[in-house]
Amino acid sequence: MSIVSQVILKADDELRYPSSGELEGIKNFLTTGEKRVRIAEALANSEKKIVDQAGKELFKLHPEYRSQGGNAFGQKQYNQCLRDFGWYLRLVTYGVMAGDKDPIEKSGLIGVREMYNSLEVPVPGMIDAIRCLKKASLDLLGKEDAQEASPYFDYIIQSMA
C-alpha cells in the first residue's frame, strides 16, 4: 500500500484530516516518484544480466550447490534457482516503486524460511544469494539510486535471517 493510501486510511479511521507531517510525507513521495520509477525500470530491464551475475557469484561462494546432490545440481534445479533470483528482484522493484517495504512483505516473505526449510534449501545460502543479487543490482545503478534500492534488499536479507 502506498503512503498516499496509508495516510488516507489512517486519517479516515481517526475521522480527521491528514496532518501537515503526513501531507509532507505524501509530497516527498510524489517528488521522488520519477526516481523510484527509474530505479525499478533499470532493475527490470537488466534482470537477466543481474540474475546471471548473481548466480555466478553465488556458485563461486557455494560450488557445492552445483555439485551432485546440491540444490542447484542439474539444469532444472539451476533454472529454478535463477527463477527465484528474478522473483526476489521483482519484489525489490515493488518496494522501490511503493517507497515502502510493505509490498515485499505482503507479496513474498511470509513463510519464506519455512518454505525453504521444508524444501531442504539452505537458508544461509539464500541469504548469500540475495546478497549477490543486491551487489549485482547496485553495481548497475548510480550511487544515489543504489542508496535508494539498497534497503529493500537488506529487508529481504533480514527477513530470512
Using a pLDDT cut of 70, give the percent of the chain over it: 98
Residue-number span of the structural domain to which 117 is assigned:
33-160
Average pLDDT of the residues in 102-107: 82
Total structural domains within the chain: 2
71 and 24 in one domain? no
Q: Which long-range contacts (CB under 8 A, 24 or more apart) does 57-64 make?
A: 57/132, 57/135, 57/136, 58/125, 58/128, 58/129, 58/132, 61/128, 61/132, 62/125, 62/128
101 and 48 in one domain? yes
101 and 23 in one domain? no
- Residue 43: band (very low, low, confident or very high) from pLDDT cuts 50, 70, 90: very high
16 and 61 in one domain? no
pLDDT at 140 over 70: yes
113 and 52 in one domain? yes
Mean pLDDT of the chain: 90
- Residue 1: band (very low, low, confident or very high) from pLDDT cuts 50, 70, 90: low
27 and 97 in one domain? no
111 and 79 in one domain? yes
